[in-house]
Each structure stands twice: as C-alpha cells, then as structure tokens.
Chain A
Amino acid sequence: MNRADLAAMAQREQDRQDAFRCRVLCCASTPCLSSGGTAVREAIEKAIKDGDLDADVQVVSTGCMGPCSRGPVVTLKMRGAEDVVYEQVTPEAATRIIQEHVAKNEPVKEFVFPNDAPFFAKQHKVVLANSGQIDPESLEDYVARGGYTALAHVLREMKPDEVCESITRSGLRGRGGAGYPTGIKWDLVRKSQSDKKYVVANGDEGDPGAYMDRSLMESDPHRILEGMAIAGYAVGAEQGFIYVRGEYPVAAKRLERAIRAAERRGLLGSRMVDSQFNFRIDIRIGAGAFVCGEETALMASIMGKRGQPVPRPPYPSQSGLWGKPTLINNVETFGSIAPIILNKAEWFAAIGTDKSKGTKIFALAGDVNTTGLIEVPMGITLREIVYDIGGGIPDDRAFKAVQTGGPSGGCIPAQYLDTPVDYESLRALGSIVGSGGLIIMDERSCMVDVAKFFLDFCADESCGKCAPCRVGTVQIYKLLDKITRGAATLADLETLRELCVMVQETSLCGLGQNAPNPVVSTLRYFYDEYEAHIRKHKCAAGVCALNEKPMSPAVVAPPRPKRKVARLDELEAV
C-alpha cells in the first residue's frame, strides 16, 4: 500500500459512513459494559430493525468516551448536526433514542449529557481524539480519520534525525511517569551503533487508580502501532514489542487484531507503506507484577525472566533487550506521536506550560461526582479538574486531598488546589504526575490509612532484589500499622521519617525510590493527623481502629530485647 492507496482507502470508508444519515456510537469499554452496555446495544439494534432504519443508521461499538461513572454512554452523530452524548442509558432509553431522536429528530432530553458541560468543555483531546469515535477493531475507521498518514509522511519525507528533532522540538515528555524528554531519548537510541535495535511500548499500567493506557489500547490500538512504527524508523529498529498488562486481555486482543490488519494492508511488516523500511510488532503479556512497569524489569520480563530490575547505567538506550539499544516509551507517549507529526511540533508545543508541553490523560476517580478518563492541557489547575470537570465532591463534603501518581506519588492537600498540573509543579509539592491517576479523597479518608494502603501495595509488589526496598517497605508498613492501631509513640514517627528517606535514597529502582512518597507527602501535609493518632488516639475520619495502647515510655525506652551482635574486638578475639 502506498500513500495514494491510503488516501483512497480513507475516502472509501468516509463515503461509506456518509451514506448513513446517522451514526450511533455505543461505548463498549469495560465500565460501560459492566453497567449494562450490552443490553443497550441490543435494544438499539432491535429498535433500528423495528423502525426499519437499517439503511439510515450505522451502529458502532467504540472505545471509551470518558465519563465512565455515567455509563453506559451512547453518542449520536446525525448528519449536519452536533454530536449528542447520552449518559446512563437504559435499554428503554436506548429504544426511545432511536424512536424519537433518530426517527423524529427529537432528542431525549432527560438522558442528554450536555456538550457544553465543563466535563467536555475543559478537555483538549489529542491522544484520545479517536477514542469513543471509532470502532477500535476497524483499520478503515482509523484510516478514515487520518490514520497512518503521519507514518506515510515520515517514511517518505523525513530522515530519522529529522523525526527525532521534530519530537524534541514538540517538547513531548515521557507519559509513563518520569517525564524524560522523548525526543532526546529517541536520539540517544538512534545514535547508538548496533546491528539490531528494539522499540518497546510499555503498557504495563500497574498504578492502582490509573487506566488510561488500558483505555487507549482498547479504544485506539492503531494509534499506538503507528507511533511505534514512526519511532522504529526514527531510531533504526525493525522490531517492536508491546508489553500489555496481564489484567487487560481485551487490550491485548485488540492490539493483536490491529497488528494483523495493518500487516495485511502493508502498513506494518516488510517494506511497509511502499518504503524500504521493515517493522514488526509483537505482543508480550505481563503476568501480574507492578515492578515490570520499571523499564529494566519490563525488559527482563519480555526476555522470560523474573521481573527484577538491574542497576542503571547502562541505560536501555545503550544496552537493553538482549543487550541491544532499546527505546522504551509508555503507550500514551506513542499515542502522541502521530498528531505531532501531522500538526507539526510547534502546534503541540503551543499547548501546555513552558516546560510541560501538550496534553495529558488523567484517570479521575474516588470521591468526585463524575469519574472517568479526561485529557487536559498540561498546566490546568487541580481545582478545575476536581470541581469543573469532575463536578465536585458528592454530597458537598469537604475536599481533603488528591492523590496523584499512584503508589509512587503523593497526596496534595486543599491549599494547593490551584497548583497547575505539570511535571515540575507537582514534584515541588512532593508528588508526581506519574502515569496520571488522580484519586480524590474527601474528609472520610484517613491519610495515615491511605499511606498504609500504598505501603502495603509496595511491600507486596517489591521484587525483593535490593534490601532497602524489600525489608524497608515492610518496616514502614509495620510502623504505619502501629500508628493506626494506636500502639505507636512519637519516637516511632521519627524512626518512620528516617527510614523513608533512607529507602528513597538507597533503593535500586524507581519502585523502591518512590515507595515512601505517600508517607513522606502525608507526613508533610497531614502531620497533625499522624500526631492525633499517636497523642490523642484519634482518627478524625473514623477509619482506624486505634484499639491498642502504646507501651509506656518506661518500657519503650530501652529498645526491644537485643539480639546480640558481636563487636569487632570480640570477633577478633575468637
């Protein structure tokens, strides 16, 4: 397939879609399906059949549309009219939508989620532009929306170094957590001399509370493939891997299908898009280990080993998979590539803040009215996200904190709600953008308990290779547990603080280095809560049992019964 064929394919598909008067998009992502999406789709199909509208209406199962807590969501695209989004659609409502809106052009007002609601108005969709708009299992649908033209352009018009340079100019930074400049990473791999190189897409989204990668892989798989192929061309790799988290079988299946469809059409594989370039993509399924989100552990896992990280340097860009230079980016990063190529780097760089360019997808969850997936320009404030997009806290309870960045991140209290969301600002507050999970907590959450939750997670997910993380996380957890049981003293708080800093500074990989962050950030902003637990035996949120008493200071003073460790002089005497 060459560029003309690609354009013809897009035109054909567009014509086919234009032949319908109306396109009904049914969200078929997990949240909507589990709130009854299947029955809704059946009802729609039945109503179409009953109304004899087959030739008029096209029904499409799409990926995620965003407002997950308001599912099942259905979008109606009538020719010549603005899109209408319906929320919490029941099978009865679905029937009415077809009978009233499609047939008579009278929207079913009570189910409409207004387009001008801040949930949509404050978003800026770049990576998610196709999510919820196309059938993720249809290559044609993706191509009709301009898919693979960026790849075709790159292969035809740009040299590898120009691609890297363009990505650098766009200011795109790694969306997986650390925020390393993507273009610079690409250039490092490009410059590495080797007979073989690899491109890896990290879809091992392990942060509890984050599901943007899953949604992107499920809703728009071709976008990731296209981004990877462009990266492959830019760095000189002919083999790519997508590492998909084991918990996401649907994502793996859709990617697999997408790869096959693209290969069949000559958009991937040998001499793709009529060029001299070959690029193959294979899928690897994770098997349930959070640490595999760390790049060296992920590579170990791709090579069939225990997912344990290895010390860096050497960095993967010098020595990665099978010792060859390897480019690893998050799937969301790859999702940003095609739009940057198509719209030029300057366009992307104009979005966002000075140092954090472009848009970022966040998963909004917890105690907030509208939960779901949002894509916003970098630099938007937390307040806008929580109160405008998320619609505030249910029952007008008080906002307490937002937890960003998952187990590696921290909690940000109410006084910083006006902080712009970008890599530097969040880091200054002791948290991180991370993969983009935003968990909103109201006054019913106890911050000590939340910290304990994350440490339990990290202790369980620690790979066990380095001592500070393996034992340190368990000891931090035990100290937090002691506080929530009411058995701690103020001295324990000092031990806790010291231990956290040590684990941060001495652990081998990012998991251990960041594991204490939730404790450090809550100690920083919610110290009084820790103190109340210890001094007053009080948990304001009413979460902790606090049913134990600390040992009296007299008992506490000499440390627990010593296990004798011989002194050096004693040893020498032996």
Chain B
Amino acid sequence: MAVVTLTINDELVSAQEGQTLLSVLREHGIQLPTLCHLDGLSERGGCRLCLVEIAGNNKLQPACVTPAVEGLVVRTHSDRLVKYRKMILELLFSERNHVCAVCVMNGNCELQWEAAKVGMDHVRYDYLNPSLPVDASHERFTLDHNRCILCTRCVRVCDEIEGAHVWDLMGRGANSMMIADLNRPWGESQSCTSCGKCVQVCPTGALAQRGSSVAEMEKQHDFLRWILDGREKNVWEYTDAKSN
C-alpha cells in the first residue's frame, strides 16, 4: 500500500493510504476521546468526540471514518475542539442517569475517563432524568438503560462478531433504546447465545456482569482482536492476559 504524508498539528507524519485518521493519530501518540469507536468493529461516527479540523474543509470531520490521504492538514486540539468535546460529554451526562457513585463501572468507565481527561467537572445543562428500566432477567448479565449512551458497540459486536444480532435500537432521537429481539426481557431472548461479548465492549455500566457491585466491573476488549486475527489471518497472538 502506498505511503502518504500528512500534517498533524504542524508536524509531518506518514501513514498508510486508506488508514483512518484515528489510527494514524493513535500510532503517533495523539489521544482523541472516542466512545462509539472500538478496534475490530465497524465505524459509526456517532459520538462526535473524535472530530478534528481539516484545512480547506469548513466542516469538522470525525477522525474514525476519515481516511488518511496525501497532504491532509489536520488539527486535533484547537480551543474550539476541546470546548466542543467537553460540551458533548456534558450532554451525554445530562441525557440519562449517570450516577457514578453507585455504578458498577465507577473507576473503569470510558465515559467517566473521557470526562475526567477533558476536565469536565460539572454539567451545565438540566439533567433530563428519564425514567428507564433495568433489565435483570438474564442469568449472567444485567442491562441498565440508565447508563446507556447509545454507542451501539453491543449491537455491532453481536451482529458482526458473534453473528446473532440480538441487539438493535428501537425508537429514535432521545427516545432510542437498546432492545433484545422484539423488545423482550433479555433473559427470554431466543437468539442470545449468552456469549457476553456485548458486556465486554460496553463502555459504561449499561451492560454488566450480574452480581457485580459498585466499581467492581472491569471490561476486556482484546478478545476482539484475538477473534478477528484468528478469523482473518489464522493467527492467534498471545498477549499477557491470554497467556495466563
């Protein structure tokens, strides 16, 4: 594949043609917050946290779906972008009932990390306080809609990796909600294989291991690379976690 050169924050950087901007940035140690992106899953471009400025383009572009092309001039942390990222996170916190203090993911939550990283310490908007259910019908996992940020990682991992397509979104706008099958309790789902992939990729405490208490839940994503490398290349690379 051809090598292209781009300018990122005033520095020349080379990349493989066709690589996404996000992966180029990560390779060069530039951290952008992301919530819907996950290595190994299809891109969605929905959380808008990885937006970057591209010279000559008056619209901000999400790095996760923008391909690296020759001569691109990119800026990743302008004042405007930093401000917007913070505001988007505030909006996400205001949308549902993200009460970190009583969450199984407290301390391990990607939403919480990103908020902490951008220095978001309070929310200026009214909390919408929707009244949402918790689905504890599954024998091994729980689904708390109050923590869901609609990133659809669970939908994608179930469809693309497990191939079951148990999850999807119902409704639209702020009324969107995750559903299993025909909006049935998860435990009654006929298509769920109870593989737990959705739980592992969920960035927040929306999907969790049953029985975990506050701050006890930790999640692992590296199984995704493991499965995909095995599937695509017949190579299973042992990381520290896997070799144990």
Contact = CB atoms under 8 A, between A and B. Distances in A.
A and B associate: yes
Interface of A: 289, 291, 306, 310-311, 459-468, 470-475, 478, 495, 498-499, 502, 505-508, 513, 559-560, 562-568, 570-571, 574
Given A464-B174, A505-B60, A559 B122 contact: yes
Interface stretch (B90-98, B156-164, B187-195, B236-244): B90-98
Nearest to A307: B172
B150 A574 contact: no
Interface stretch (B3-11, B112-120, B134-142): B112-120
B71 to A, nearest CB: 16
B56 interface: no
Given A475-B94, A563-B127, A566-B112, A464 B88 contact: no
B47 interface: yes
Nearest to B85: A506
Given A311-B45, A508-B45, A564 B172 contact: no
Given A464-B174, A565-B112, A495 B124 contact: yes
A289 B172 CA distance: 10
B173 A462 contact: yes
Interface in B94-111: 94-95, 98-101, 106-107
Given A470-B150, A568-B117, A464 B172 contact: yes
Contact of B88 (A291, A460, A506, A559): A506
B172 A463 contact: yes
Nearest to A472: B91
A506 B84 contact: yes
12 contacts: A462-B172, A464-B174, A464-B175, A465-B44, A470-B150, A473-B173, A474-B173, A505-B60, A559-B124, A562-B122, A566-B106, A567-B121
A289 B176 CA distance: 14
Contacts, number: 133
A475 B90 CA distance: 11
Contact of B125 (A461, A468, A475): A475
Interface string B27-68: 000000000000000001111100100000001111001000
Interface of B: 44-48, 51, 59-62, 65, 80, 83-84, 87-88, 91-95, 98-101, 106-107, 112-113, 115-117, 120-128, 149-150, 169, 171-176, 215
A311 B65 contact: yes
A465 B176 CA distance: 9
A506 B120 CA distance: 18
Contacts of A568: 113, 116-117
Contacts of B126: 475, 478, 560
Given A311-B65, A462-B173, 15 more contacts: A459-B174, A460-B173, A464-B175, A466-B46, A470-B95, A471-B92, A474-B173, A478-B126, A498-B87, A499-B87, A508-B45, A565-B122, A566-B116, A568-B113, A574-B215
A498 to B, nearest CB: 8
Contact of B48 (A464, A468, A564, A574): A468
B48 A466 contact: yes
B77 to A, nearest CB: 15
A499 B80 CA distance: 12
Contacts of A466: 45-48
A459 B173 CA distance: 7
Given A564-B100, A566-B100, A568-B117, A474 B128 contact: yes
B47 A470 contact: no
Contact of A560 (B59, B61, B127, B150): B127
A574 B105 CA distance: 12
Contact of A468 (B91, B121, B172, B173): B91
B117 A467 contact: no
Contacts of B107: 566, 571, 574
Nearest to A562: B122
A291 B173 CA distance: 11
Contacts of A462: 172-174
A489 to B, nearest CB: 13
Nearest to A565: B115
A33 to B, nearest CB: 33
Contacts of B84: 502, 505-506
A552 B185 CA distance: 46
Contacts of B61: 311
A192 B127 CA distance: 48
Contacts of B173: 459-464, 470, 473-474
B88 A467 contact: yes
B85 to A, nearest CB: 9
Given A475-B94, A495-B124, A506-B60, A571 B112 contact: yes
Contacts of A508: 45-46, 48
B176 A470 contact: yes
B171 A464 contact: yes
Contacts of B59: 505, 513
A499 B150 CA distance: 21
Contacts of B123: 559-560, 562-563
